[in-house]
Amino acid sequence: MNTEPLWFLDTLVVPRVPAAYSPDGLSVLESRARRGDSPPLHTHSEDELFVVIDGELLIKAGGEERTLRAGETLLGPRGVPHTYLVTSDEARWLTVTAKGDFEAFVRSFSRPATERDLPEASGPPSPEQEAALAEACHRHGIELVGPPLHPGE
């Protein structure tokens, strides 16, 4: 079972249940990130379940915003634009998807983590990095439809 930790942008991701081990492609990824971490607003073909373990996430889905704290869960339905923002110093959460497409995307755009800690913060992406992310998203059926969330929005 490939559960080696990955660095996905500024996030530590540990595959807890890789999609390859489930006949349905069920995937459980544990993520940990710093305050301010937020992906672009996006849609994809899988439902995405967020389960917060530690810290706090502000999740925007379908135009609504909800703050999730440890022990709380939210479903980001497939096809509905969604994103999150880490609003605590750090947050740790599970992302559960059902077809393996999202996990494949994360793996394709990650690098092996050299330790089980957060990578060095890289700051805002360069135009080249933004283009590479958009291309990886496109290859995996993820459509970028808006910017990341920013603190205070």
Map residue 21 onto helix, strand or coil.
Answer: helix
Q: Where are the domains of the chain?
A: 6-146
Neighbours of 145 (CB within 10 A): 12
* Distance from C-alpha of 39 to C-alpha of 56, rounded to nearest angstrom: 15
- Does CATH place domain 6-146 in 2.60.120.10? yes
- The 10s digit of each residue's pLDDT in 138-150 is 999 999 999 999 8
**Which residues does residue 3 pair with via DSSP β-bridges, in sequence order?**
none
Q: Mind listing the pLDDT tens digit for each residue in 28-78?
A: 999 999 999 999 999 999 999 999 999 999 999 998 999 999 999 999 999
Coil, helix or strand for 32? strand
Q: What is the model's pTM?
A: 0.93
Q: Give dist(CA 11, CA 23) in Å, integer.
A: 27
